[in-house]
Amino acid sequence: KQEVTQIPAALSVPEGENLVLNCSFTDSAIYNLQWFRQDPGKGLTSLLLIQSSQREQTSGRLNASLDKSSGRSTLYIAASQPGDSATYLCAVILRGNQFYFGTGTSLTVIP
Amino acid sequence: KAGVTQTPRYLIKTRGQQVTLSCSPISGHRSVSWYQQTPGQGLQFLFEYFSETQRNKGNFPGRFSGRQFSNSRSEMNVSTLELGDSALYLCASSLEAGGSYEQYFGPGTRLTVT
C-alpha cells in the first residue's frame, strides 16, 4: 500500500523567508503528484501538478520538484507571506486516478 | 466558470440513519471523486466516477456508496451511520479520469453523527 509522509508536520517562519516542504512516498510507481493547500474548514486548492515525465513545475513563487526514484517531492515557497499560512498537502496519483494524500504540513507565516 | 459545489455544507444526523451528499462538478468535467477527511486518518479516497461508472473504490465498507448521473453530478450515500463517520466529505472533479488532470475540490460537507 502506498504511504505518503510529509515532514515537518508544522512549520512557523517569519515573513519573507524561503522555505521547503517535503513529501515522501513508498512506492515509486506513481503516475503523477499534486500539491494542494487547505485553509481551515475549507476544501483543497490545487497548487501544482507534476506529471511522471516531468521533474518540476513552477507557478509564481512556488516550485515543486519530483524525484520518483528516491520517492520524494519538495515544494519550495519563495519570499513567504502571511497569506501563505495554510496546510499543504501532497498527493501521489496512481494509474486509474487513485489519490493517496500525505498527512500535511501546517504552515504559519508570521508578519 | 463556477467551481465544484457541494450540498449541503453542514449536516447533523444520528446513529443508524442514512445520508446523501451531492456534488456538482465544474462544467465540462466528467470525473468525480469523493474523499473523507478526519483528524485521525487524514484524507482518504472513497471512490471515483467517470461517465456514470465507478472506476475506483477505496477501502471503505459497503455502507458507503455513490453514483453519477448523465450530467456528471454525483451523489454519495452512507447508510447505517456510525459515530466514526463524522468527517468532512470532499468531492473533486477533473476533466477526464486517469490522473493526468488536476483535481479541483469543492468546499466539502461537514457531517456530524451524534
Interface check for A70 against chain B (CB to CB < 8 A): the answer is: no
Pick the residue from chain A with its C-alpha nearest to B39. A103
Cell numbers for A104, please give them.
500535511
Q: For residue A30, what pLDDT is reported? A: 82
From CA B6, how far away is CA B45, in angstroms rounded? 17
pLDDT in tens, B38-92: 988 889 999 999 999 998 888 899 999 999 999 999 999 999 999 999 999 999 9
Residues B113 and B19: beta-carbon distance below 8 Å: no
Cβ count near B102 (within 10 Å) = 15
Cβ count near A87 (within 10 Å) = 18
Residues B111 and B11: beta-carbon distance below 8 Å: yes
Chain B closest-CA separation from residue A48 CA (Å): 8
Residues A49 and A34: beta-carbon distance below 8 Å: yes
Contacts of B99 in chain A (CB under 8 A): 31-32, 93-98
Chain B closest-CA separation from residue A12 CA (Å): 20
Cell numbers for B75, please give them.
451523489
pLDDT in tens, A34-81: 999 999 878 899 999 998 888 999 999 999 999 998 999 999 999 999
Q: Is A102 within 8 Å of B103 when comparing Cβ atoms?
A: no
From CA B97, how far away is CA B32, in angstroms rounded? 8
